[in-house]
C-alpha cells in the first residue's frame, strides 16, 4: 500500500481513491497519538528532513512530531540557519540533504512550484508544506479528515471558504480536495481577493458573504495574509472585519450544526471574532491535532511506493 506518486506536491492531480486512502490511514495514526507512549517502529531507519524557508508553527512541528512518533530520524533547517543565507540555491540545498540520505524532504518555500522543482531534482520523496500561493496539500488533507471525522462524509457538504482566496495556498488545495471528494465548495471575499477564473477549479464564487454562508455545513475562515498585502487590495483591517469578518451573527446564517475552521495562525478580531474562534462550533484545535495524524499517514504511505517511485533523475 502506498501513494502512486513519489511526491506530494499538490492535490490538483491526486485521485479521490488516494485521498480516501490517506484519510483512512490517518485514523489508526490518530489512535497512536492518543496513547500514553506515542511511538511505533514503522519508519525506523528512515530519515525525514524539514526545510522551511518561511515561518511555520503548525506544519513544521506536526511533520517533525509525526516523523518522531513513527520512529524516523528527523532534523530540520530554516532559511536563517541554513547555507541559503550564504547564497546556496534551493536545488543545491536539496541535493546536499539528499546526499546525506534523506528519504523524505518536507519543503515550505515562498516560490510557487518550488516543491515540484525539488521533486524532479532529488530521488527522495518531496512533500509540499506550502509553496507561495500555490498549494498546501497536507493542510487540505487534515481539513478533509477533520470534517469527515465530524460529519461522517464529505460528499454533498457545503463548504464555504471565506477571505483572502487570492494569496491562499490552503484555499487552492482545499478547493481541489473538497471538490474532488464531492463537496460543494463556495468562495467569498472582497472581489480584489478572489482570483479571476477560480470557478474553473470547481468552486462557486460569491461576492455576497451572506449568500455564501447560507446553509453552509462548514465555514473555513482564511487568514488575511498581512505579509503578502502590498498592493492595497482592501481598504483596511477594520473595514475588512466589518464586511467579511465572521462573527456570531454571521455564523447564524450557516447550518445550525456548521463547523468553524481556520488553518491558523488567526488574526483574532479581523477575519474571525474571538467568540467564534473559541465557540462550541469551532474545531480549530482539532484541526491541529489531526494535522499530526494526517502527516503520519503521508510519511507512512510515501515510504511505500508504487511503480512511479522508480525515479529517473
Ligand atoms: N496552517 C499553517 O500552515 O500553519 P503554519 O504556518 O503555522 O504552519
Within 6 A (CB) of ligand 1 lie 56-59, 130, 136, 139, 263-265
For 278-300, write each residue's pLDDT tens digit. 999 999 999 999 999 999 999 99
Share of the chain above pLDDT 90, in %: 88
Cα(58) to ligand 1 centroid in Å equals 5
Q: How many of the other CB atoms lie within 10 Å of CB of 250?
A: 17
Cα 56 to ligand 1 centroid, rounded to whole Å: 5
- Average pLDDT (64-78) is 97
**Going by CA atoms, what residue is nearest to atom 5 of ligand 1?**
56
Q: In angstroms, what is the span from residue 129 Cα to ligand 1's centroid?
A: 9
Query: Could you tell me the distance, in angstroms and rounded to a whole number, from the CA of residue 224 to the centre of ligand 1?
Result: 13
Phi-psi region of 106 (alpha: psi -120 to 50; beta: other; left: phi over 0): beta
In this structure, of 81-95, 263-277, 284-298, the range with the lowest mean pLDDT score is: 81-95
- Tell me what pLDDT residue 275 has: 98
Contact (Cβ atoms closer than 8 angstroms) between residue 150 and residue 217: no
Residues 35-47 pLDDT 10s? 999 999 999 999 9
The pick from 65, 76, 141, 263 for probing ligand 1's pocket by mutation, whose C-beta has the most ligand atoms within 8 angstroms, reads: 263
Phi (first) and psi of residue 270, to 5 degrees:
-110, -80
Q: pLDDT grade, residue 308 (50/70/90)?
A: very low
pLDDT band at 312 (very low <50, low <70, confident <90, very high): very low
- Atom number in ligand 1 closest to CA 55: 6
Amino acid at each position: 500500500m502506498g501513494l502512486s506518486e513519489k511526491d506530494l506536491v499538490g492535490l490538483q492531480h491526486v485521485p479521490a481513491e488516494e485521498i480516501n486512502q490517506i484519510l483512512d490511514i490517518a485514523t489508526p495514526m490518530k489512535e497512536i497519538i492518543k496513547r500514553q507512549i506515542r511511538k511505533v517502529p514503522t519508519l525506523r531507519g528512515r530519515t525525514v528532513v524539514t526545510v522551511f524557508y518561511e515561518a511555520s508553527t503548525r506544519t513544521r512541528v506536526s511533520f517533525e512530531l509525526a516523523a518522531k512518533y513513527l520512529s524516523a530520524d528527523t532534523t530540520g533547517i530554516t532559511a536563517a540557519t541554513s547555507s541559503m543565507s550564504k547564497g546556496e540555491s534551493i536545488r543545491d540545498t536539496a541535493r546536499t540533504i539528499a546526499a546525506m540520505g534523506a528519504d523524505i524532504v518536507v519543503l515550505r518555500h515562498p516560490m510557487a512550484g518550488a516543491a515540484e522543482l525539488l521533486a524532479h531534482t532529488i530521488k527522495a520523496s518531496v512533500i509540499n508544506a506550502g509553496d507561495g500561493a500555490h498549494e498546501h496539500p497536507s493542510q487540505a488533507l487534515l481539513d478533509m479528515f477533520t470534517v469527515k471525522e465530524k460529519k461522517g462524509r464529505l460528499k454533498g457538504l457545503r463548504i464555504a471558504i471565506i477571505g483572502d482566496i487570492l494569496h491562499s495556498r490552503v484555499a487552492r488545495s482545499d478547493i481541489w480536495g473538497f471538490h474532488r471528494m464531492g463537496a460543494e465548495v463556495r468562495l467569498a471575499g472582497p472581489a480584489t481577493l478572489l482570483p479571476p477564473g477560480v470557478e474553473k477549479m470547481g468552486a462557486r464564487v460569491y461576492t455576497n458573504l451572506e449568500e455564501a454562508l447560507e446553509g453552509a455545513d462548514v465555514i473555513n475562515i482564511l487568514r488575511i495574509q498581512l505579509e503578502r498585502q502590498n498592493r492595497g487590495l482592501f481598504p483596511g483591517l477594520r473595514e475588512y472585519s466589518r464586511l467579511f469578518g465572521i462573527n456570531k451573527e454571521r455564523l447564524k446564517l450557516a447550518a445550525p450544526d456548521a463547523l468553524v475552521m481556520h488553518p491558523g495562525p488567526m488574526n483574532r478580531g479581523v477575519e474571525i471574532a474571538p467568540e467564534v474562534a473559541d465557540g462550541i462550533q469551532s474545531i480549530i484545535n482539532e484541526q491541529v491535532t489531526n494535522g499530526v495524524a494526517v502527516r503520519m499517514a503521508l510519511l507512512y504511505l510515501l515510504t511505500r511506493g508504487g511503480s512511479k517511485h522508480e525515479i529517473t533523475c
